[in-house]
Amino acid sequence: MPELPEVETVARRLQERLPGARIAGAEVFWARTISYPQPPERFVREVTGGEVARVGRRAKSVVVHLADGRVLTVALRMTGALIVAGPGAAADPHARVVFSLADGRELRFRDPRKFGRVGLYPGRGRRRVAEPFARHGPEPLAPSFSAARLAARLRRRSARLKTLLLDQSFIAGVGNIYADEALWRARLHPLRRADTLTEDEIRRLHRAVRAALREGLAGGGASYRDYVDPDGEPGLAAERMRVYRRTGEPCFRCGRRIERIVVGARATHFCPRCQPAPPEPGAAR
């Protein structure tokens, strides 16, 4: 599933080619892809005529800002991709929504497994519907996301670190890959309880989350599953993973074999030496 670096990569590439484009029409091929407004015919009617001002990202969604203040949100989820197709490009059987641009290109939301969602929301201050990201936590790469802010959010939380990092209301944009990578960098076991971290460990976690995401971003995003960028190219970062999907391979820091456990139904990879297990419940500290 695309996480912050993959979605940010998609948004940046679209920002290079979409601003100024006018949406001349749209076709919805899978009604459930549209999250708002309903029905899809209304979505099509309302998005038609919109002009792209800029493309950004919030959490794991691409956010297309229209010139009139409205926002088109695209949650890629498991297999979603946004593709800019030139005039005359062959039809894509996995395209769920196709926006025809006035210059002859198409912006296609391709999504083989159909978990992705596309919505069109009013601009700030004019919202009669819930703000699409109201329940999301802070952006970890934002300058305002300080170690002190992370510390405040970790306090009084008894959840395991892995579970908490995946919780989008705790921190936005981190998923299974970068949660494992961040915990390895921070030398913290995925099952550590949030409220047991020392100040130094919190600082390490803060640095590690940002470093893991930045490196993923520098590599153009991970290329697992069906992730491709708007040119249809896979990302590069998969070869740079320190622990993710490296079960049984040596730790880059200490040489011990990477282990895999399941936390909250998610495969979790860690080094048993660099990331020492928390004491058993009830054990003397």
From the candidates 5, 6, 8, 60, give the one annotated as an active-site residue: 60
Complex with Zn ion: residue 234 or 272, whichever CB lies closer: 272
> Site residues (CB under 5 A) for Zn ion?
251, 253-254, 256, 271, 273-274
Of the pair 96, 192, the CB lying nearest Zn ion is at 192
- Residue in 3, 106, 139, 181 annotated catalytic: 3
Question: Cβ of residue 147: shortest distance to Zn ion, in angstroms?
Answer: 24
What is the three-class DSSP state of 82?
Answer: strand
**Residue 245 C-beta: closest distance to Zn ion, Å:** 16
Question: 13 or 192, CB closer to Zn ion?
Answer: 192
Q: What are phi and psi of 37, to 5 degrees?
A: -85, 160
60 flagged as catalytic: yes
Active site (annotated) includes residue 2: yes
Please, which residue, 76 or 271, has the CB nearer to Zn ion? 271
247 close to 259: Cβ distance less than 8 angstroms: yes
Helix (H) or strand (E) holding 98: strand 95-101
Let me know: does 192 contact 208? Beta carbons within 8 Å: no
Dihedral, CA of residue 42, residue 43, residue 49 and residue 53, to nearest 10: 150
Q: Closest approach of Cβ 273 to Zn ion, in Å?
A: 5
State in angstroms the smallest separation of the CB of 175 from Zn ion: 23
Q: Looking at beta carbons only, is 148 or 254 nearer to Zn ion?
A: 254
- Residue 138 parent element (H or E): none
Rounded least distance, CB 188 to Zn ion, Å: 12
Would you call 3 a catalytic residue per the annotation? yes
Nearest approach in angstroms of CB 161 to Zn ion is 17
The pair of structure tokens assigned to 112 is 């083989």
Q: Which residue has the tokens 């992730």?
A: 227
Buried b (16+ CB within 10 A) or exposed e, 123-153: eeeeeeeeebbeebbbbbbeeebeeeebeeb
Q: Which residue number, 84 or 188, has a Cβ lying nearer to Zn ion?
A: 188
Range 50-54 contact pairs with CB under 8 angstroms and sequence separation of 24 or more: 50/22, 50/23, 51/20, 51/21, 51/22, 51/23, 52/18, 52/19, 52/20, 52/21, 52/22, 52/23, 53/19, 54/15, 54/19
The kind and range of the H/E element at 135 are: none
The catalytic site residues sit at 2-3, 60, 266
